[in-house]
Amino acid sequence: MMRRKALDLWAGVFVALGLGALLFLALKVGNLATFSAAQTYLVKADFDNIGGLKKRAPVKSAGVVVGRVEDIGFDTESYEATVTLSVDKRYAFPKDTSAKILTAGLLGEQYVGLSAGGDPTMLKDGDKLKITQSAVVLENLISQFLFSKAADSGNKDGK
Protein backbone atom coordinates (compact mmCIF):
# COMPACT_ATOMS: atom_id res chain seq x y z
CA MET A 1 0.00 0.00 0.00
CA MET A 2 1.68 3.15 -1.18
CA ARG A 3 -0.33 5.36 1.11
CA ARG A 4 0.96 3.49 4.11
CA LYS A 5 4.27 5.35 4.13
CA ALA A 6 2.53 8.72 4.10
CA LEU A 7 0.22 7.64 6.93
CA ASP A 8 3.13 6.42 9.01
CA LEU A 9 5.00 9.63 8.42
CA TRP A 10 2.17 11.89 9.45
CA ALA A 11 1.24 9.78 12.45
CA GLY A 12 4.85 9.89 13.53
CA VAL A 13 4.97 13.66 13.12
CA PHE A 14 1.78 13.92 15.13
CA VAL A 15 3.10 11.88 18.03
CA ALA A 16 6.38 13.78 17.96
CA LEU A 17 4.54 17.10 18.06
CA GLY A 18 2.41 15.89 20.93
CA LEU A 19 5.36 14.75 22.97
CA GLY A 20 7.10 17.99 22.12
CA ALA A 21 4.15 19.95 23.44
CA LEU A 22 4.20 17.91 26.63
CA LEU A 23 7.90 18.58 27.03
CA PHE A 24 7.36 22.28 26.42
CA LEU A 25 4.67 22.37 29.06
CA ALA A 26 6.75 20.45 31.53
CA LEU A 27 9.93 22.45 31.13
CA LYS A 28 9.00 25.95 30.04
CA VAL A 29 5.60 26.28 31.59
CA GLY A 30 6.05 24.17 34.67
CA ASN A 31 8.83 23.77 37.14
CA LEU A 32 10.12 20.35 36.18
CA ALA A 33 13.49 21.67 35.09
CA THR A 34 14.26 23.17 38.43
CA PHE A 35 13.59 20.50 40.88
CA SER A 36 12.70 16.89 40.35
CA ALA A 37 16.08 15.43 39.51
CA ALA A 38 17.97 17.11 42.31
CA GLN A 39 19.35 15.09 45.18
CA THR A 40 17.92 16.13 48.51
CA TYR A 41 18.34 15.50 52.22
CA LEU A 42 15.58 15.60 54.80
CA VAL A 43 15.38 17.88 57.81
CA LYS A 44 12.62 18.14 60.39
CA ALA A 45 11.21 21.18 62.19
CA ASP A 46 8.48 21.55 64.79
CA PHE A 47 6.07 24.47 64.76
CA ASP A 48 3.34 25.62 67.12
CA ASN A 49 1.24 26.68 64.20
CA ILE A 50 1.94 26.11 60.53
CA GLY A 51 -0.90 28.35 59.40
CA GLY A 52 -1.72 27.60 55.77
CA LEU A 53 1.48 25.77 54.89
CA LYS A 54 0.89 22.95 52.40
CA LYS A 55 2.91 20.05 51.16
CA ARG A 56 5.21 20.88 48.24
CA ALA A 57 5.35 24.50 49.36
CA PRO A 58 8.74 26.03 48.64
CA VAL A 59 11.56 26.25 51.17
CA LYS A 60 13.50 29.44 50.56
CA SER A 61 16.59 31.01 51.95
CA ALA A 62 17.45 34.63 51.16
CA GLY A 63 14.53 34.47 48.73
CA VAL A 64 15.95 31.59 46.67
CA VAL A 65 14.13 28.26 46.47
CA VAL A 66 16.36 25.64 48.08
CA GLY A 67 13.87 22.87 48.78
CA ARG A 68 10.27 21.73 49.21
CA VAL A 69 8.04 20.82 52.10
CA GLU A 70 8.02 17.04 51.92
CA ASP A 71 5.57 16.11 54.63
CA ILE A 72 3.45 17.66 57.39
CA GLY A 73 2.67 15.66 60.48
CA PHE A 74 1.26 16.12 63.98
CA ASP A 75 3.06 15.06 67.14
CA THR A 76 0.51 13.66 69.58
CA GLU A 77 2.83 14.06 72.52
CA SER A 78 3.95 17.64 72.15
CA TYR A 79 0.83 18.67 70.24
CA GLU A 80 3.02 20.46 67.72
CA ALA A 81 3.20 20.27 63.96
CA THR A 82 6.20 18.37 62.56
CA VAL A 83 7.22 19.57 59.12
CA THR A 84 9.66 17.53 57.03
CA LEU A 85 11.68 19.58 54.55
CA SER A 86 13.63 18.18 51.64
CA VAL A 87 16.58 20.43 50.90
CA ASP A 88 18.71 20.36 47.74
CA LYS A 89 22.02 18.63 48.46
CA ARG A 90 23.88 21.48 46.85
CA TYR A 91 23.03 23.74 49.76
CA ALA A 92 24.38 22.87 53.19
CA PHE A 93 22.98 24.69 56.21
CA PRO A 94 24.54 25.05 59.67
CA LYS A 95 23.08 23.14 62.58
CA ASP A 96 21.66 26.27 64.19
CA THR A 97 19.65 27.34 61.16
CA SER A 98 16.21 28.71 62.02
CA ALA A 99 12.99 28.13 60.11
CA LYS A 100 10.17 30.62 59.82
CA ILE A 101 6.82 30.28 58.13
CA LEU A 102 6.37 33.31 55.91
CA THR A 103 3.80 34.52 53.47
CA ALA A 104 4.63 35.46 49.90
CA GLY A 105 3.18 38.92 49.40
CA LEU A 106 0.31 40.05 51.56
CA LEU A 107 -2.21 37.35 50.78
CA GLY A 108 -0.04 34.86 48.93
CA GLU A 109 0.82 31.25 49.64
CA GLN A 110 2.94 30.37 52.66
CA TYR A 111 6.45 29.00 52.50
CA VAL A 112 9.28 28.07 54.86
CA GLY A 113 12.13 30.55 55.13
CA LEU A 114 15.51 29.34 56.38
CA SER A 115 17.96 31.72 58.01
CA ALA A 116 21.42 30.27 58.30
CA GLY A 117 23.12 30.41 61.68
CA GLY A 118 26.83 30.40 62.44
CA ASP A 119 27.48 26.85 63.63
CA PRO A 120 30.47 25.25 61.83
CA THR A 121 28.76 21.82 61.79
CA MET A 122 26.28 21.34 58.94
CA LEU A 123 22.85 19.71 59.04
CA LYS A 124 22.74 16.03 58.12
CA ASP A 125 19.95 13.94 56.66
CA GLY A 126 17.39 13.40 59.43
CA ASP A 127 18.45 16.23 61.70
CA LYS A 128 15.99 18.50 63.46
CA LEU A 129 16.02 22.28 63.33
CA LYS A 130 16.06 23.72 66.83
CA ILE A 131 14.83 27.24 66.26
CA THR A 132 11.47 27.75 64.61
CA GLN A 133 8.95 30.53 64.34
CA SER A 134 5.35 29.73 63.65
CA ALA A 135 3.15 31.31 61.05
CA VAL A 136 1.45 34.57 61.73
CA VAL A 137 -2.22 33.83 61.98
CA LEU A 138 -4.31 36.75 60.88
CA GLU A 139 -7.03 36.25 63.49
CA ASN A 140 -4.51 36.32 66.32
CA LEU A 141 -3.02 39.52 64.93
CA ILE A 142 -6.39 41.15 64.75
CA SER A 143 -7.42 40.09 68.23
CA GLN A 144 -4.03 41.28 69.54
CA PHE A 145 -4.56 44.58 67.86
CA LEU A 146 -8.08 44.95 69.23
CA PHE A 147 -6.97 43.88 72.67
CA SER A 148 -4.16 46.40 72.75
CA LYS A 149 -6.48 49.07 71.46
CA ALA A 150 -8.98 48.23 74.19
CA ALA A 151 -6.18 48.26 76.75
CA ASP A 152 -5.01 51.69 75.54
CA SER A 153 -8.44 53.25 75.75
CA GLY A 154 -8.95 51.54 79.09
CA ASN A 155 -5.77 53.19 80.35
CA LYS A 156 -6.84 56.54 79.04
CA ASP A 157 -10.22 56.25 80.73
CA GLY A 158 -8.72 54.82 83.84
CA LYS A 159 -6.55 57.91 84.47
C-alpha 127/C-alpha 143 separation (Å) is 36
Q: Which is nearer to another protein, 55 or 149 (CB)?
A: 55
- How far, in Å, CA of 17 to CA of 74, rounded? 46
25 counts as binding another protein under rule CB under 8 A: yes
Please choose, out of 1-9, 37-45, 79-87, 136-144, the segment that lies near another protein by the rule CB under 8 A.
1-9
Min dist. Cβ of residue 25 to another protein (A)? 5
CA pseudo-torsion sign 17, 21, 23, 27 = positive
Contact between 92 and another protein by CB under 8 A: the answer reads: no
Q: Which of 22, 122, 141, 146 binds another protein (CB under 8 A)?
A: 22
Residue selected from 13, 92, 142, 150 as contacting another protein according to rule CB under 8 A: 13
Q: Rank residues 21 and 92 by Cβ distance to another protein and give the closer one.
A: 21
Instruction: Identify whether the C-beta of residue 50 lies closer than 8 Å to the C-beta of residue 101.
Output: yes
Count Cβ neighbours within 10 Å for each residue of 55-89 and write b for 16 or more, e otherwise: eebbbbbeeeebbbbbeeeeeeeeebbbbbbbbbe
Q: State CA 55 to chain mean position distance.
A: 7
Which residues inside 39-68 make contact with another protein, applying CB under 8 A? 54-56
The distance of closest approach from Cβ of residue 156 to another protein in the complex, given in angstroms and rounded to an integer, is 39
3-state DSSP percent of the chain in helix, strand and coil, to 5: 35, 35, 35
19 binds another protein (CB under 8 A): yes
Cα separation of 117 and 146, whole Å? 35
* Residue 159 DSSP label: -
Q: Which stretch binds another protein (CB under 8 A): 16-24, 85-93, 118-126, 136-144?
A: 16-24
Q: Which residues bind another protein (CB under 8 A)?
A: 1, 4, 7-8, 10-11, 13-15, 17-19, 21-22, 24-26, 28-32, 34, 36, 54-56
